[in-house]
Amino acid sequence: MRLAGFENLFVRGMDYSSFSSRFDRSVFNMRTLLLILVFSFSVFGQAAAPISYSSVFDIRHSKKVFVKASSASDRETIAKALSNDKELETVERAEDAEFIFEKKSRLPAQVYYFKDKAKIVVWTEFYKRAGLEKSVDNFLEILSRNRNLD
């Protein structure tokens, strides 16, 4: 009797009983690995909110902003620059804000808000070399222009 693909196993002196136990263990390990992967993707997949992109026009009537920065000095710089706009109020908690101005170290600044558990980015800093104050001024200029569109 010829078994396709298994003839080398018998030639080397391996009997069927040892092959069967090794095969069962590998199937068990593959099933275990598959279950671990399925559960890990379902757990980690729920962590991040979906991200959408829009324009500053969406937040043109918003008044309350929360400043999120990687350092206290960056937060103070952003809050001071945002205070130049008399219509904006900087709040201490993100839950109280209508939108968030965020500056992480080594990443461009972003302005976003949440709607239906989705993060909607309305502005991203393009020129990091311009400086943080210049970036905030650029955002305020764009916000001002969008307020005048009504």
Q: What is the reported pTM? A: 0.67
What's the mean pLDDT in 67-92? 96
Amino acid of residue 127: Y
Asked if 82 contacts 138 with a C-beta cutoff of 8 angstroms, the reply is: no
Distance spanning both ends of the chain, measured CA to CA:
85
Q: How confident is the model at residue 118 (pLDDT cuts 50, 70, 90)?
A: very high
Residue 27, pLDDT score = 56
Burial class (CB in 10 A: 0-12, 13-18, 19+), 111: buried
Average pLDDT over the chain reads 82
In this predicted structure, the answer to whether residue 114 has a pLDDT above a threshold of 70 is: yes
Residue 2, pLDDT score = 54
For 39-73, write each residue's pLDDT tens digit.
666 555 555 678 999 999 999 999 999 999 999 99
Residue 46, pLDDT score = 53
Residue 32, pLDDT score = 73
Token pair for residue 2? 């010829």
